Structures are given as structure tokens and as C-alpha cells.
Amino acid sequence: MLTHIGNLFAFIGGLGMFLYGMDIMASGLQKTAGSKMKELLGYLTNNRFLGVLVGALVTAIIQSSSATTVMIVGFVNAGIMNLTQAAGVIMGANIGTTVTAWLVSANEWAGALKPDFFAPFVLGIGAFIITFSNRQNLTQKAEIAVGFGILFIGLSSMSSSIGMYQDSPVFYKAFQILGNNPILGILTGAVVTAIIQSSSASVGILQTLAMRGIVNWRSAIFITLGQNIGTCITAILSSAGANKTAKRAAVIHLLFNVMGAAIYGVIMTIFFGVFSDLAMQHITSTQISTFHTIFNVSVTILLFPFANLLVKLSGVIIKEDVEETEDEDEEVEEMVLRHLDPRILETPTFAVENAVKEVARMGYIVIGNLNRIIKEAGKEEPSQKKLDKIFQNEEVVNHLETMITGYLVKISQLSLPEKQIIVVNHLFDAITDIERAGDHVENIAECMQSLKKSGVRLTDEAKKELKEMAECTKNALHQSVRSLEEDNAELAAETRQKEQMVDKMEKEIRKNHIKRLKTESCAPEEGVFFMDIVSNLERISDHAENIAQYVLDENEKNITA
């Protein structure tokens, strides 16, 4: 009895090490490939073929189709990916997840290089590097080694714990029943995968059983088909609090896998009916990997031309509310984070990239307000409607500052490469500068409103000076936000030049204003508002320079690293 309990504990411990090893290895791979993630995002266009490739690559890196799909749901919910793009990436994710199965089966076909033979050595080397090395790039690679080692030690533990049961009639009878009943086999695979929320892990368990000669062809095939359906549960649960479009992305994932399982379920039932001798023969771990790959690649090829049909079908299942499809007020939409979603935190590298986009969006709202100021400054009397819009937009900026800060706090708690830690720290400072720049734009709008109410009018010369200075300030702010968004040191350097131009203009305007006061060509009341506006413009350019400096600092550290 104690022997059986000990074997159960060993199997559970081995499964835990396998899952933990996958997680650590995926984390290390993400950090190491972090610099390439932005490039991968750039391929997420309406070209579905590229979407398939990106989905396969990302899943191969993070070792989980479930995590990739959850991330896709987050992108769709954040409005940075449409359903057509999502369909292609989801298809690719199913191909990428086959990498783990081939790693597991390497114990059969790798000969003298069997992973479980040298896994302890790899784990030991990785642990020594993490403990004694101060070089982050090296420790990130060491994480991959540690994850790899733990993964295969876990597999070895699982395999050893069930070794004494390989001739057990209970296992034989169980898999015979599952093999003879395709629906039951598919359901078993789906339920087990849904419980542990990882098709890679459930396939790994099946392969471990296959290594001990416990699993037959028929049961393995139908369980594998069910595992592809069960992996959808993670994305479906993740989409529970998302918008309708994100829910449709999760449904596309489910439809794709259910259709694939149904097609192959029929084909393999007929196949085993013809080749009945093969059906009850033992299957190897490598043969499971081969079928798993053929299944996912062929289903992708088969359903790829019908991606738009899957998108339409998802719309039939998840119907859009009339209110959501109608045009809403622009300001209400801006109160929502467009590029950030909690699901994206599943992949820290993408979370940082999208945080940059959201901070840039906040900056562009302030730039839009400043542009309205420029237009109104040249008019005889500013429009109250336009000024009110500036005030409303400033409320949006304040709201975004709070939400983005909260999101950045969550990102900063994740495991990130050193470069991205620096980026996140600078984003905290950048949103403060953008928010303060927004405050100064609001101050200018209030000055213009006060001028309007008092009946005081600026001279034509003063209007011209303000417009020129405001235009230069806007250009400086725009370049600084672009430099942040694109990580462009050249634009950042140009921003500093623009800021210096604004400083010179401010000094010149002050001199001219004093001359006008001396000659009494402008009233003192006018001068108070005028100089307040000039002062606020100069401070906006200072904040633009601060933002540009963050970009320059990041690039300087990258060069010296």
C-alpha cells in the first residue's frame, strides 16, 4: 500500500516539476527573445499567413498555445488586433505547441543525447550561473537551462513512478475502453487538459505513459484530439470579462480546434476500422509527436482558407449589441485603455511594448489639445466649444495617468530583462511629464477663456508671436512622444533642439512685450494673460525635453551595455 502511495506522490511531484520546468524555461526564453518581440508584433498585419508564422513562433517561445491565445484575447480586447489577424495567429499557435511534444519524445529518438540523461547536468550548470553570475544576459539563458533540466527530471520521475504498472490489466482495460469509444477518448483528453489548462502538459503525460508501453494507438489518437479542444478552456475563461470582440476571438479558437478534432475523429475512426491490427498496438512517444504535428499542420492548411468564415461564424455565436456597434462619443472611448489589458501581462515583453503605445496615446491627446490652442489663438474670439473640449480631454489625460500607472506597477512586478526594466521606470516619469504638459495646456485654455470674458483683446503682433511659439512647442512635444513610441534617439535629439528654440523665443517675446508696454501699445491686463500663456508654453517644452532625455538615456545605456 505504501509503495502505491509513494508512486502516486512521485507521479504528482514529477508532474509538478514538469509544469514548473515548462514555466521557467518559457520565462527564460521570453526574456532572451524580448528584443525580437517588437519585431514579431510588427508582422501582425491583415496577412493571415504571416499571422500563422507569428503565432507558431510566439508559441514555440512561450511553450504554451493557451498563453498565446489568452494574449490574443487581450490584444483583441485592447483593440490592437482585429479578428482576422487573431484567426491567423490562433492557427499558428496550434503548430507552435508541437515543439514541447518533440522535446518530450527526444528521450526515444535522440540516442546518446537523451535529454533525461544530461538534464541534471544542465540544471546544475544553470543553477550555478544564476547563483554566482551578475550578468543578466547570462542568467536569463541559465533560466532556460534550469527549466529544461527540471522539466525532464519531472518527466523521468513520472515515468519511473508508473513503471511497475506497465503490465497492469487496469491500464490496459482503461485504454481499451477509451480506444473503442472515440467520443469518450476525446472527452477524456479534453477534460484532463481543461483541468491542468495546458495541452503541452497533458500531451507530455500521455507520452510518458506511451514510453512505458501502456497506451495503444487508437486511444492515444482520440485523447490527443480531445487535448486540442481542452486547451481552449483557458482562453474562454480569460474572455469572460472582455468585450464581445474578444469573446469572439476565444470562440474562433474553440471552433478551429473542434472542427479539426471532428474531421480527424471521422478520418481516424474509418482508418482504424480498416487497420484494426494497428489500432490496439502500443504507440510510442515519438509517434504521438508525429501525429500531433501532422494533425495541427494539416488542420491549419485545411481551415486556413476559411478563416473569414470562422470570423463570421463567431459573430453568429457571439452577437454584437447594437449599442456597441454604433459610433460613440469620442471622449467616452478615450477614457478606456486601448492598448493595455490584464491578459497581456501573461507575456511581459508584449505588456511593456503596449504600455509604451498607451503612454504615447496619452501624449497624442495632449498634442491634440495644444493643436486646438494654436487654432483658437489666431481667432478674434476663441470658441467656447473648442475650449470645453480641451477641458474634457484633460480629464481623460488625468484618468489615463491613474490607469496607466496602475498597469505599470503590475508590469514592474513581473520578471523582465534589464532593458525593459529601464523602459518601465522611464514610462513612470514620462506619464508624469505628459500629464503636467496637459495641465499647462489647460492653463492656457483658461487664460484664453478669461481673456474672452474680460473683453480684453491681444494685439495682432502678440497673437502672431503666440502662434509661432505654440507651433514650435507642439513640434517639440510631438517629436518627444514619437521618439518615446519608436525608441528613436535621433528624434529625441531634435526635440532638445526644438526646446532650445522655444527658450530663445520666450526671451525674445518678453523683450517685445516690455517694449509694447512702454509704448502703451498693449494694456497691462492683456499683458498678464499673455505672459502666463508664454510661460506655460515654455514649461510644456521643458516636459518634452524630459521625455526625450529618457529615450536618450535608454539608448546610451544600450550602447554601453
Q: Grid coordinates representing 438?
A: 496637459
The whole-number pLDDT of residue 50 equals: 83
216 φ, ψ (degrees, to nearest 5): -100, 165
d(CA 536, CA 470): 10
Residue range(s) occupied by CATH 1.20.58.220 in the chain: 335-560
CATH H superfamily, domain 335-560: Phosphate transport system protein phou homolog 2; domain 2 (1.20.58.220)
How confident is the model over 465-474, as pLDDT tens digits?
888 999 999 9
The whole-number pLDDT of residue 110 equals: 64
Task: Indicate the SS3 state at residue 349.
Answer: helix
The whole-number pLDDT of residue 199 equals: 79
The whole-number pLDDT of residue 386 equals: 85
Identify each DSSP E strand in 287-417 by its residue range: none
Amino acid letter for position 84: T
Distance of CA 429 to the CA centre of its chain: 22
From residue 290, alpha-carbon distances to 102, 151, 473, 502, 537 in Å are 8, 21, 61, 66, 65
The whole-number pLDDT of residue 369 equals: 92
Residues of the chain with pLDDT under 70: 30-46, 62-63, 78, 80, 110-114, 163-172, 175, 241-242, 320-335, 378, 456, 520-526, 557-561
Residue 82: left (phi > 0), alpha (psi -120 to 50), or beta? beta
Q: Which residues neighbour 161 within 8 Å (Cβ) at sequence distance 6 or greater? A: 7, 8, 10, 11, 14
Distance of CA 292 to the CA centre of its chain: 27
* 8 A C-beta contact, residue 386 and residue 375: yes
3-state secondary structure 127-153: HHHHHHCCCHHHHHHHHHHHHHHHHHH
The whole-number pLDDT of residue 163 equals: 65
d(CA 105, CA 250): 30
How confident is the model over 257-275, as pLDDT tens digits?
999 999 999 999 999 988 8
